[in-house]
Structure 1
Amino acid sequence: MPKIGNTKEILADSLCNLAETKPVNDITVLDIVSNCGLTAPTFYNHFRNKYDLIVWYYTRLWSSVLDKTGKEGYVWRDAVHDGLRM
């Protein structure tokens, strides 16, 4: 069984993979867990719904971008630019 942090990442990766071929509105929790080999109860141990997963994913992405600001000449403008390219 994956570690908790890894479980969230696995679910996010699954959603992203599915979103390449299917509109997010059409993706279900069952689609997400079936795609990555986890179960619906596991999903609901971590997230309320797929939108909660999406918020977690984008918050994590933006946090990693913003953490770079002020380090080694990485400025706010660069952070915003990198964030928008995601």
Structure 2
Amino acid sequence: MSTKDMTKTMFAEALIKLLNHVPFKKITVTMLANHCRVPRQTFYYHFHDKYELVHWIYSSDLNKAMVENANESWSKVTYLFFQKLNEKRVFYKKVLIDSGQNSLLEHSQTYPANLFLASLSQGGQSPVLKDLQFSLNYHAYACSNMTRHWLLSEPDVTPEEQNYRTLRAMPQVLYNELNSYREKKQV
């Protein structure tokens, strides 16, 4: 892990610890820097604000599930991501309460769609068909809101069940394209 990633991870761990005692809205950059025993400018070197830190945590969790399981089926990758969200449910519940500008909800609606669009474009689907792009964006918005609902209010629903629900609701054309892309990468 690079020094830059270690510093980002240090701030992520500080945020998670502070959330045990302080509501997300009341956590400041100064509190994070003090917890890490570094100057505030160190935080600003890596992140614009605490929202960007939350986005980085979420994006890192998603990227890790995708990269570490590049040879797995699409359904396995999504299951592993839901499992990671569930493991960090306490954290995600505390940051998902906020749904305004720069919120994690807003980020989770756009980041995965952009990531998958970029992957599909690199996989020979360039340019990505407008219908496929619409399906991807539509599903990303629905999935992010339903995942938020799951994390905030359905603790008895397992990651397996949430994954099944999400994949069953995915437009078939999108599911086929994502699986096709993953199969091409494995060859």
1:5 Cα deviation from its structure 2 partner: 1.5
| Alignment check: 8 A CA contact 1:14 1:36 kept | yes
TM-score, with length taken from structure 1: 0.82
Aligned partner letter, 2:63: S
Cα-to-partner distance string for 1:50-79 (whole Å, 9 max, x where unaligned): 10111011100121123325439x714522
**In the TM superposition, what whole-angstrom CA distance separates every residue of 1:8-66 from its partner, at most 9, and x where no partner exists?**
11011101110111111110000001011111111101110010111011100121123
Identity of matched residues, %: 25
Q: Aligned letter for 2:18?
A: L
Q: 1:84 to 1:12 in 2, by over 3 A?
A: closer
The answer to whether 1:15 aligns with 2:44 is: no
Partner in structure 2 of residue 49 of structure 1: 49
**TM-score normalised by the chain length of structure 2:** 0.41
Query: Does 2:34 align with 1:34?
Result: yes
CA contact (8 A) 1:69 1:79 kept: no
Q: Tell me, which stretches of 5 or more residues in structure 1 are unaligned?
A: none
CA distance, structure 2, for counterparts of residue 13 and residue 27 of structure 1:
13
Equivalences, count = 84
CA contact (8 A) 2:61 2:81 kept: no
Q: Aligned partners of 1:59, 1:77: CA distance in 2, in Å? A: 14
For residues 84 and 46 of structure 1, the distance between their equivalents in structure 2, rounded to whole angstroms, comes to 23
Could you tell me how far apart the structure 1 residues matched to 2:54 and 2:38 are?
Answer: 17
Task: Select the structure of larger CA radius of gyration.
Answer: 2
Q: Which residue does the alignment assign to 1:24?
A: 24
Specify every segment of 5 or more residues in structure 2 that has no aligned partner in the other structure, as ranges. Answer: 89-187
**Cα RMSD (Å) of the superposition?**
2.2
Give matches, 1:71-82, under 5 Å.
71=72, 75-82=76-83
